[in-house]
Chains A and B, each alone.
Chain A
Amino acid sequence: MKKRLDVLICGGGACLSSHSQDVKNKFIEVLKAKGLTDEINLVETGCMGPCEMGPVMVVYPDGSFYVQLTENDVEPIVEEHFLKGRPYQKKLWAAPEARKIVEEKRQVPFFEKQQKVVLALCGKIDPESVDEYIANRGYEALGKVVTEMTPEAVIEEMLKSGQRGRGGAGFPTGLKWKFGKASEGKQKYIVCNADEGDPGAFMDRAVLEGDPHSVIEGMAIAAYSIGADKGFVYCRAEYPLAIKRLEAALKQARAMGLLGKNIFESGFSFDIEVRMGAGAFVCGEETALMASIEGKRGQPRPKPPFPAQKGLWGHPTVINNVETLAAIRHIILNGADWYASIGTEKSKGTKVFALSGKVVNTGLVEVPMGITLRELLYDIGGGIPNGKKFKAVQTGGPSGGCIPAAHMDTPLDYESLTKLGAIMGSGGVIVLDEDTCMVNVAKFFLEFSVEESCGQCAPCRIGLKQMHDLLEKICEGKGKMEDLDLLESLAHTIKATSLCGLGQTAPNPVLSTMKYFRDEYEAHIKEQRCPAGVCKDLISYVVDESKCIGCTACARTCPVSAISGAPKQKHRIDPSICTRCGSCIVKCPVKAIYIGPGAVKREVESKKLHLEKTL
Chain B
Amino acid sequence: MDRDAILRKYPPQSENLLALLHDLQDARELHYLTEEDLRAAADHFHLPLSFVHGVATFYTMYSLQPRGRHVIRFCQSPACHLMGGVSVGKTLQKLLGVDFGETTPDHEFTLEMSSCLGVCGVAPAMMVDDRVYGNLDEEKVASILESIRREK
Interface residues of A, Cβ cutoff 8 Å to B: 13-14, 16-18, 50-52, 54, 196-202, 205, 237-241, 275-281, 292-299, 354-358, 362-364, 394, 428, 430, 432, 436, 441, 444-445, 448, 451-452, 454, 557, 559-560, 579, 581-583, 586
* Cross-chain contact B59 with A280 (CB below 8 angstroms): yes
* Cross-chain contact A277 with B115 (CB below 8 angstroms): no
* Cross-chain contact A295 with B14 (CB below 8 angstroms): yes
B9 to chain A: closest CB distance in Å? Answer: 14
B148 is an interface residue with CB less than 8 A from chain A: no
Q: Which residues of A contact B55 (CB under 8 A)?
A: 295-297
- Taking a contact as CB atoms closer than 8 A, the residue among B13, B18, B79, B93 that contacts A276 in the complex is B18
* Cross-chain contact B59 with A298 (CB below 8 angstroms): yes
B22 is an interface residue with CB less than 8 A from chain A: yes
The CA of A202 and the CA of B120, in the complex, are separated in Å by: 7
CB-nearest residue of chain B to A361: B121
* Cross-chain contact A17 with B77 (CB below 8 angstroms): no
The CA of A520 and the CA of B17, in the complex, are separated in Å by: 48
- Taking a contact as CB atoms closer than 8 A, the residue among A17, A444, A559, A586 that contacts B133 in the complex is A17
Q: List 13 A-B contacts (CB under 8 A).
A: A16-B131, A17-B119, A18-B135, A51-B121, A54-B122, A197-B116, A199-B78, A200-B120, A202-B119, A237-B22, A279-B60, A281-B115, A430-B78
A289 to chain B: closest CB distance in Å? Answer: 12
The CA of A237 and the CA of B121, in the complex, are separated in Å by: 19
A298 to chain B: closest CB distance in Å? Answer: 7
Given pairs A200-B77, A297-B55, A298-B58, 11 additional interface contacts (CB within 8 A): A13-B119, A14-B134, A239-B118, A241-B130, A278-B22, A278-B61, A295-B13, A295-B18, A357-B83, A557-B138, A583-B138
Interface residues on B, range: 35 or more
- Taking a contact as CB atoms closer than 8 A, the residue among B61, B83, B90, B132 that contacts A579 in the complex is B90
- A-B contacts counted at CB < 8 A amount to 166
B1 to chain A: closest CB distance in Å? Answer: 18
* Cross-chain contact B18 with A451 (CB below 8 angstroms): no
Q: Which residues of A contact B121 (CB under 8 A)?
A: 14, 50-52, 54, 202, 354-356, 362-364
CB-nearest residue of chain B to A433: B82
Q: Which residues of A contact B131 (CB under 8 A)?
A: 16-17
Q: Which residues of B contact A51 (CB under 8 A)?
A: 119, 121-122
The CA of A582 and the CA of B87, in the complex, are separated in Å by: 7
A280-B60, A356-B79 are known contacts. Are A14 and B122 too (CB-CB below 8 A)? Answer: yes
B127 is an interface residue with CB less than 8 A from chain A: yes
CB-nearest residue of chain A to B112: A279
The CA of A200 and the CA of B125, in the complex, are separated in Å by: 12
- Taking a contact as CB atoms closer than 8 A, the residue among B59, B78, B125 that contacts A444 in the complex is B78
* Cross-chain contact A581 with B90 (CB below 8 angstroms): yes
* Cross-chain contact A448 with B122 (CB below 8 angstroms): no
Q: Which residues of A contact B58 (CB under 8 A)?
A: 280, 297-299, 454
Q: Which residues of B contact A354 (CB under 8 A)?
A: 120-121
